[in-house]
Structure 1
Amino acid sequence: MQEVLLKAVANTETPNRFMVGDVKQSIYRFRQAKPELFLQKYNNYNDKKGSSHRKIMLYKNFRSREEVVDAVNYIFENIMNENIGEIEYTEKERLNLGANFNVDTDEKSIIGGATEIHLIQKDNKLDDDIINDKDDRINNKENEIEEEEKLDNIQLEARMVGNIIKDLMKVNEDGKIQKVYDKGIDGYRPVEFRDIVILLRATSAWAPVFADELMNMDIPTYADVGVGYFDTIEIKTILSLLQIIDNPMQDIPLISVLKSPIFGFTPEDLIDIRVQSKDKIFYEVLKSTAEYDGFTDSQNENESEFIPSEECINKSKDFLIKLKEFKEKSMYMSTDEFIWYLYTRTGYYAYVGALPGGSQRQANLKVLFERAKQFEETSLKGIFNFVNFIEKLKKSSSDMGSAKTLGENANVVRIMSIHKSKGLEFPVVICSAMGKNFNTQDFKKSILYHHNLGYGPQFVDYERRISFPSIAKEALKSKINIENLSEEMRVLYVAFTRAKEKLIITGSTRNIQDSIKRWSNGIESLDTISQYEILKGKNFLDWIMPCVLRHRDLSNLLEEVGLDAVFNVEHNSKWYGKLWNKNDILVEKKSDEEKESIEEILEKIDVNNPDSDYYGEIEEKLNYIYPYEFSTRKPATISVTEIKKIQNNYEEELINTIFEQKVILKKPLFIQNEEEREKISGTERGTIVHLVMEVLDLKNVSSVNDIKSQIRGFVSKGIITEKQASIVNPYKIYKFFASNIGKRMLNAEIINREKSIYAQVNMKDIYIYEKLINNDDKKLYDNESVMLRGYS
């Protein structure tokens, strides 16, 4: 469509189109992008000057360090060709070093370094590649298909990546540390979390697990997944709380809330409640537990005689009291006000802020509050309708990503998809999940379609009651497979070329020893990887590993699995490889039972023998008194009228006016008597005079009669009423304009009316009249100022 539109508006006789692109980075076939359109021009245009269809090759890469450029070239020289990749990776297409990095003279610095490959063996008991084909064909949506991955296998790789990041950021055995170039300081500094990005082919299943595991390892992380908002624990908890406030007869939301930090019921407490009666709904049993004072003879025979603990009874009572309070509040508060009330009343907003990723969790809660605000603007009201509204959002797949809380320089490790990383660059790039199989769901449809070759149906033999792929379908399958693999190859190219200074590749495989033997099979006799091996590849590792295992730097990987490295390739690229196992990553992972709670730590503290090194410092900070505390009770801005009140010893009246902000409600007209209706207050008098002065035509104020005439005109135009006009004194207005300042005003070229003005005044000049201030406070005022406001 874009090509058709551009052809329609561009010249044909004298071409005037200027196109810039790199077909190796065309990764949007799922959006109907056609690399062949670009390739057609690439092959037909020439590099001769003066040509009407000229091709200019931009050879140099100004982003990446030499180690990254060499590694990318080495991989794609071996795997990318015109058949798979749709372009030959020749001297014209390879990356050429153009970046110029400063030299670091510090001997303790590690700059750039070899491209790294880290592999970990999956748990053999967990087969994460078995997919139920029939269910996938029925249930999964096109372009949203994810291979089913067992959580433990994703966790293994995530923890391996966490260890890699920690190793990268700490001083090594030689006393050296990884550094990156920082333009801001025009020099090198130690690598930080914000310098690192983890790129994944697909994020929906992997990114949340990676983020959780890294945060559990004390690595601040942000995963840009675009979905999963309603699956976050904080949103689930608040929505469950809203559900039971509306209707507590729902067991699952009720138990979720009880077990949450808001009420703190333990599994043992929930068991104590449930065993009271197995027939009743949980809420009814909970009420019975709260009212428990020993079972009677009239008790139902199905009810247990198990006695709940006193703590469980007290928790149940507390829950019911709060639930009643919440129900009452929800009756007269708007939905958004009520949700914010829940955040503060339960302390849950502050609680999630103290968890790993606290700012992100709080931002998610704020988004729910904003959603409630938007909901209040509709005709629907109340908790019931709001909960239904959210449920409809979930069912319609209108889930949204977590709230965006990151600034450009937030010091966190970012996790994003390769597609979202396109056009970006990062000092350290970790390409993970390289062992995840390619998506082959396109081949499982009953009818295949290709935009050039047409349709390929499934053949159905009704007599024998069987079906099998037709020849046309097999032909389309082969064509689509090559196009998909070419797309995956370009995706890999985009991922690798995001790195500025260091590239790290990670992946998991079912059996490392067997996999390395398979990857190294036959590669000693070939200059490049065979096209058959590329077509047979099921994941990125099947392309990467046969290349790098031929390199002399990774001979250690072959030796670890008992193979001889007799076919080493000489190449400028530098590589480092490591094989991990579960024990390498589980040693530092503490179980929940080993983690001490804050309460347990506090119980161990001996308050009678405080730590002398810190006790004095802590006590000093806790007992600190702010020296300017008195000044904080004064307003930052003050009007001339308020200053006059202060100087007339009206301090108490002023404080009430400024700080208490009493609201005086005007009586409705229908209950005012005639005298009240006729009466005009002092404030209203001032407002009327200001209004008249604002709209007065200054070219016609040379006499009292002129001013009277204008005021009558204001009445006729409805600007003021007859009664309001009667309180305006035209003689005083005329007298003002006859004064020196009035004449200056009339002669001015530019006149601003009702414009706020501010002046900075020393605070001691205003509050020196206060009798409550001691001499020390007066000294503090010497350097304090207040803003004087007024209107002209």
Structure 2
Amino acid sequence: MTNAAPDLRIALDPAASVVVEACAGSGKTWLLVSRIVRLLLDGVAPGRILAITFTRKAAREIEARLALWLRELATVDDAAALAFLEQRGLDALAARAVLPRARGLLQVVFDAQPAITITTFHGWFARIVDAAPLTSGLSGNTLVESGRQMTDEAWQQFARRCAREPAWAPAPSLRWLLRELGTANTRTLLDRLLARRAEWHALCEGRDAAAVIEELRAFHDPRDPRELTAGFVLRHGVELQVFSGLLIANQIANDVEAGRALQAVQGADADVLFAAARAALLRQDDVPRARKHSAAMEKRLGADGAARYLDLHARLAQAVLDVLAQFAEAAAFELNRHGLIAGVALLDVLERYKRERRLMDFADLEWHADRLLRDESEAAFIQARLDARYRHILLDEFQDTNPLQWRILRAWLDAYDATQEKPCVFMVGDPKQSIYRFRRAEPRIFTAAAGYFAQRFGAVCLPNDATYRNSQAVVDVVNALFAQAPLFEFRPQKALRSKLPGRVEAIGPIGGEQDGDERADGKADADDGLRDPLHTPLAELEDLRHAREAALMAARIAEIVGRWEVVEHGKSRAARHEDVLILCRRRTRLAEYERALRDRGIPYVTSSRGGLLHTLEAEDMRALLRFLASPADDLALAHALRTPLFALPDDALLRIARSRALGVSWWHRLDALVRAGEGGEDMARAHRLLLRWRELAAHLPVHDLLDRICFEGDLAARTRAVVPPAMWPGVAANLDAFIAASLKLDAARYPSLPRFIDELARLADDADEAPDEGTIEAGSSETACGRVRIMTIHGAKGLEAPVVWLIDANSTHAPADTYRVLLDWPPEADRPCHLSFAGRKEMLGTRRDALLAEESRAAEREDLNLLYVALTRASQYLFVSGVAEARPGQRTSALVRVAQALAQLNPGAAVYGGESLCKSAPPAAGAPAAPASLPPTPVGMRRAPLSEAQRYGTRLHALLETRAASGPGAPAPTAEAADASIERQVQAILAAPHLQDFFDPARYRRAWNEIDVVLADGSSGRIDRLVERDDGWWVLDYKSGTPDAARLEGHRDQLARYREAVSAMFPAQPVRCILVFGNAQRLDI
């Protein structure tokens, strides 16, 4: 057996414990579900199987695939069923023998009581907690997915008590933190401890916080700073006097100044003398000043003097650094002492808050499950229930396990003694794909667990480095790249589909030097003269680096789609938009890439994290709920009536506003109009539904109310009718997500509609807790097809695409993470060895250097893991691009690593592999067309030649379009448009003060020129300029002449049709129209 492909007879043997370390694309889910099928074929009862993975999505995928396979086994012919079984490690005779049982597995699984358990780690922990005896005190708790609101409330209670009771023990520590760190950094530091509270509890088992603080005191050995400086002066005072004389004698300006400063403070306070010595010996960044021997120095000081000067400089500088290191140790201890005193008190407040409300989050769930399995009084009961239930344990994606989760699992398995029948364990994972350190994942646990299972359960360890996903070109680049990264512990991979077309390109770094008028960092160069800030604004050049990268990406995608070859299920076809997956590390710059795709007309789908409540469809639903909760809210009612649910036109709203029933709310006016029979059918429908929903809102839970609204109001169909087809899947997903959020938020905590609305308002302003936009399932032909997908690398884990583009991949700077928790919990250890706070550089000290270095290595390893995950999403074509950095950092960027691998495989080129064009793809742009074989058929109407006035108007439009799009500094007009009279008209229009709202980019949101629209009668029209401002949309129509009453009616009709077309595209905003004449006159229509 080789690393390339594991022996399925061993991996899927129901009687064997197996650990599989499998690379990306090797079929880990296939292997795990196949193992379940083999267990069922071997007669194992479904209820005896426990499969644990890390996300609900992965658990549902395992369930769906198992159901699909069992259904296939029940329905396909014998030949197909036998082939299925032989693919899963059975020989022909064994496959035929178990075929009858295989046919009935679907019924066995569906009827099983208890059923097979396929869950997440937290789902399994919840089962353990639910099974706890009443004496545990854990019954009746509610699990909340996000604990931010709980920590916010605990912080407020803690801060109020510290302010109210200054003598309370934690209050001085909180004041110290606020003074030294500031409010935001103090909150960050204490929040990090709350996030690690399970590890803190594990560290403190059998002792209290005071004991931990004393351990840290012994570890840092803090000294009084004044004693340190006094000792320094006592030891080195005479040498400092000698050194100051040598500094002055050296006759260099900086040395003379430093020497005189030292002499001036001789006999002064030790702290003052130490500060002067520090300034003379060290730079501002506390690095020793560069002082080297030279002939000139020896001439000034003499040979002995120069040697004495350099020796004193080296020894005194090191002495100062030693004192500074002791300062840092003392500062580190003070940070930890005050941080732990305040943090533990805050943790106590949080625990009391949760107990009073019977709440727990995922960290609590882990801690309580661990406590139950380790508590002598309760562990036996829990373990007996687990032992009686499960005989086969399957662990998926085990590289994402955190130390506490591993300790919980180990507490259960350690309880088996030599006389008991142990369960069979099947573990699969890939440490190279561990990318969740921010969720406390520890990839080293996988190796430790593999050794544990081999020793305790006789597990066989099988590597699998053969990928079914990636093309040979992608695999070659991955092998070349990670072979040069010793930290990665990489084994070369093998492509099982070596004939698959593939290509890898590195593009960039893309800089800002092309135009010559901007720097890479987007900052303007200083002017030669002084700037008057009252009259001359500071010139800041726009940073166009990412815009250039985005434009290049969009252009290349447009070239790929429809032309490049994609192999799907063994058949070749042309690439489609849904074949393209754009990956990013962070979402910061995504808007620029989305804009480039829109400009190219490329459909895409992305989900904005925490952006659900700011989508138009969610705002519509919130407005409706606000009205139902408060019928006097006129603005909410007006908003609701304009939504697709009712779609009342502007004239209907004006009729309500102008109703004679002045002085009463819009709801009373609407009611009066409908009862008088003056409202029309649409208004009567709205009145009827709103009246009914107002009654239901008084007693129905919010989710049930929304369910009634969606059904009775025909929300989906009415919304789909007014939404462009390309946008509908995203809108539908957001509507579903809003209803799901109502169920989640309303669960036993927000029983009334007003409280639910208040909670939505709070979440809308909370970036951490706000609900995410709805997700579009990639596998749905209706929703995913025809769209480029944009995702983060974390979000794309487990996915693949024929074409992957990794954007913004040249970053060399790690995000700042100054105030954090340092944790050392070796995988084989039962509890953490060390937990402390890290702060600014002067608060770190040197005694934790090894721990900090290990943390740095872990961060670098995870960066490599992220790159591995990103590259291996590509099944055929991979592009990596990035922009030039103004000040590159010390890290090697992903783009540079890929470029180095490409240079190794294909020297002198940034490309590896071939561009494979699909045979059925259309010819490239510019290719000569084949002559038509059929006689031409007349289509449309023949137009009369343009008159001179029409040609004049055409040239005026063309020049206005160019100047309006380019703004100041536009290129000179072409010969066709350079007519002097046209030039004068264009200048007059663009300079007119009453038109600046439509031509000055600072006064509008966005604008387009020459927009083609489809009018209500099916004909087409072209809007000269469409401008979006804060007050709505504006349609501009240029006329080369002057206002003419005879033609004005025709102009009104034309603009009315344009207004109708724009209103259909943007129904929630008003649309206004103006005529702009050649003499710069403006006429509102």
**Under a length normalisation based on structure 1, what TM-score does the superposition of the two structures give?**
0.47
Higher relative contact order (CA 8 A, sep 6+): 1
Structure number with larger C-alpha Rg: 1
**Under a length normalisation based on structure 2, what TM-score does the superposition of the two structures give?**
0.36
